Structure 1
Amino acid sequence: MADPVRKKPHLQAVREGNPGKRALDEGLQLPPGDLEEPDWQETFPTVKDRSRQAINRRAREVARREWRRVVPVLKHTAGLAAVDAAALQDYCICVARIDQCERDLSRHGLVMEGERGMQKNGSATIVSQYRAQYKIYLREFGLSPSARVGIKPPGDDDDDSDVFD
């Protein structure tokens, strides 16, 4: 038996456009919420090894900076709800890990001396995986130019049927 046709999520349909002008299912509407910045110390803890301490300290700062950069924008454009905090935290961790891998690649190069001679730096593989996830977050949160096409900020419509107004 064939799978039923799946509808696109509302925001995805809005982002991709609606050339057929069909009615869109707006899906679940959540009230906007205040997002508390996570304690980055829990994700990137202080450790005994001094070099790891510096790496985790920088990761905390990169994640903190990204959180503070995107949350105000997303509150305005996407109407973030409190339930979005975990996904947003994961996005910021992803950004911090990309920074960490890129710094490692800059320090040690793409190819390193290994047990069996020259070998690929493991950070090259890891950063590739984080960048793939990063692209997904950009689409989900509407943080890339192509993802923003057609998105209207919450409250930018003339419809008075919103239950949270």
Structure 2
Amino acid sequence: MPRAILTEPDWSEVFKTSPDPAVESANERCRDMASVEWRRVVPVLEVAAGIGEVDHATVKDLCVCVARIDQAERDLSERGLMVTAERGTVKNGAATIAAQYRTQLARYIRELGLSPSARTAITAPEFDDDDSDIWD
């Protein structure tokens, strides 16, 4: 079976352009982070797990999670864990958002075999370039 090659998504469709400079700056960084993660994991997954087009949405969502975690962590670094709101000092909502994305990211890591423990459950597919078999 020949190797499948997943096409990287157009991240500007996920993280839209915004007229607000602050939002656009965050979305631009998210586009970059998602792209870096895609280029990091897809080559490994194509060989180790034999992923194909059917897995595109899952891998795309994993990359979105990584980008959003980065965005939430940057907000926490800039504004702190506690922020001043109308009712006084409250927990920064970015902490909750980061935790939720991390929970989802952990699921994707297990699903795709991206952790040491998850990799033990995955057997790499055998790639057969022999086109002589009529059943290929």
Normalising to structure 2: TM-score of the pair?
A: 0.90
| Matched residue, 2:120 | 149
Q: Residue 92 of structure 2 corresponds to which residue in structure 1?
A: 121
Q: Higher helix proportion, which one?
A: 2
Aligned to 1:61: 32
Find the residue that maps to 2:29 and give its secondary structure: helix
Gaps of 5+ in 2: 128-133
- Does the alignment pair 1:75 with 2:73? no
Residues 31, 164 of structure 1: 8 Å contact kept: no
- Whole-Å separation in 1 of the counterparts to 2:53 and 2:20: 36
1:101 corresponds, among 72, 75, 82, to 72
What does residue 38 of structure 1 align with? 9
Cα shift at 1:33: 2.5
Cα distance change on mapping 1:164 and 1:121 into 2, 3 Å: farther
Q: Do 1:32 and 1:82's aligned partners in 2 also have CA atoms closer than 8 Å?
A: no
**C-alpha root-mean-square deviation of aligned residues, in Å?**
2.0
Alignment size in residue pairs = 131
Quick one: percent identity of the two aligned structures? Answer: 54
Shift >4 Å, 4+ stretches: none
- 1:99-148 Cα distance to aligned partner (Å, 9 max, x none): 00000000000000100110010001111100000000000000011111
Amino acid at match of 1:80: I
Q: Could you say what secondary structure the match of 2:89 adopts?
A: strand
SS in 2 for 1:152: coil
Given the superposition, is the C-alpha separation of residues 85 and 164 from structure 1 closer, same or farther in structure 2, using an over 3 Å criterion?
farther
Bigger-Rg structure (1/2): 1
Q: C-alpha displacement at 1:32, in angstroms?
A: 4.9
Partner Cα distance (1:155, 1:65) in 2: 27
Q: CA deviation at 1:164?
A: 7.2
With the length of structure 1 as denominator, give the TM-score of the two structures.
0.74
- Distance (Å, rounded) in 2 between the aligned partners of 1:143 and 1:42: 26
